[in-house]
């Protein structure tokens, strides 16, 4: 029996608190944490792919820089004693959308396929709403879109990489994937706010480490 999905919860800063959370102090620790997340992916062989992914993978990297008032042009907090810059990077590997007839899956795997396709359809609806500048964007229609709201909305920068097949027998899935990419490209997001330069952030980090 499939387990119930956990509700998407957020912390006080607006970040999601689902899944595995860990603090890292180096690039090597980050790579190790991501590698651990890869091991949790669900895979199932189908007629389309021998190691078909049956789960979405979302890796969220949050970087917070705290500096004195004189170091970076960042907003002062309510105490007036420090400033913070918070940046978020989400790496998302979506499970593939497969036609049930072509994949040959049955039973629980067929049910998983329907859930995956439904969540991808919800994501396509969100991208369509953004591209058409609708007044309401249905982020809460799926746990996936709710989780990725900060990534695909607001002033976020979105980059989509599609994996498609040149084979004639997979033309339907290829066209579906390209259509998804076209909606993602047309999605309208707000203008990015002013950010401190890379040199300023690097100088602040070096200064904090030396102290």
Does the pLDDT of residue 211 top 60, yes or no? no
| Beta-carbon contacts of residue 13 (< 8 Å; ≥ 6 apart) | 86
Res 41: pLDDT = 80
- Report residue 134 as tokens: 């609708």
What is the Cα–Cα distance from 77 to 73, expressed in whole angstroms?
Answer: 12
pLDDT tens across 58-108, in order? 888 888 877 655 455 555 555 555 567 778 888 898 887 777 777 777 888
pLDDT tens across 113-140, in order? 888 889 989 998 998 898 888 889 999 9
Residue with tokens 């607006």: 14
What is the Cα–Cα distance from 106 to 112, expressed in whole angstroms?
Answer: 10
Q: What is the mean pLDDT of residues 28-36?
A: 88
What is the Cα–Cα distance from 158 to 187, expressed in whole angstroms?
Answer: 9
Res 73: pLDDT = 53
Does the pLDDT of residue 11 top 70, yes or no? no
H or E stretch covering 211: none
């Amino acid at each position: 029996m499939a387990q119930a999905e956990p509700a998407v919860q957020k912390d006080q800063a607006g970040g999601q608190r689902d899944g595995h959370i860990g603090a890292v102090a180096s690039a090597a620790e980050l790579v190790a944490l991501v590698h651990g997340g890869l091991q949790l992916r669900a895979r199932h062989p189908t007629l389309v792919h021998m190691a078909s992914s049956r789960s979405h993978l979302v890796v969220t990297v949050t970087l917070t820089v705290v500096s004195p008032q004189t170091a970076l042009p960042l907003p002062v907090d309510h105490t007036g004693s420090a400033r913070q810059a918070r940046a978020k990077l989400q790496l998302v590997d979506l499970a593939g959308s497969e036609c049930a007839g072509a994949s040959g899956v049955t039973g629980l795997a067929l049910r998983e396929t329907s859930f995956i396709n439904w969540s991808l359809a919800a994501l396509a609806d969100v991208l369509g709403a953004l591209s058409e500048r609708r007044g309401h964007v249905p982020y809460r229609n799926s746990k996936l879109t709710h989780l990725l709201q900060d990534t695909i909305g607001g002033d976020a920068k979105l980059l989509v990489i599609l994996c498609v097949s040149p084979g004639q027998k997979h033309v339907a899935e290829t066209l579906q994937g390209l259509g998804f990419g076209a909606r993602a490209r047309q999605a309208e997001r707000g203008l990015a706010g002013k950010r401190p330069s890379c040199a300023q952030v690097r100088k602040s980090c070096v200064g904090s480490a030396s102290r």
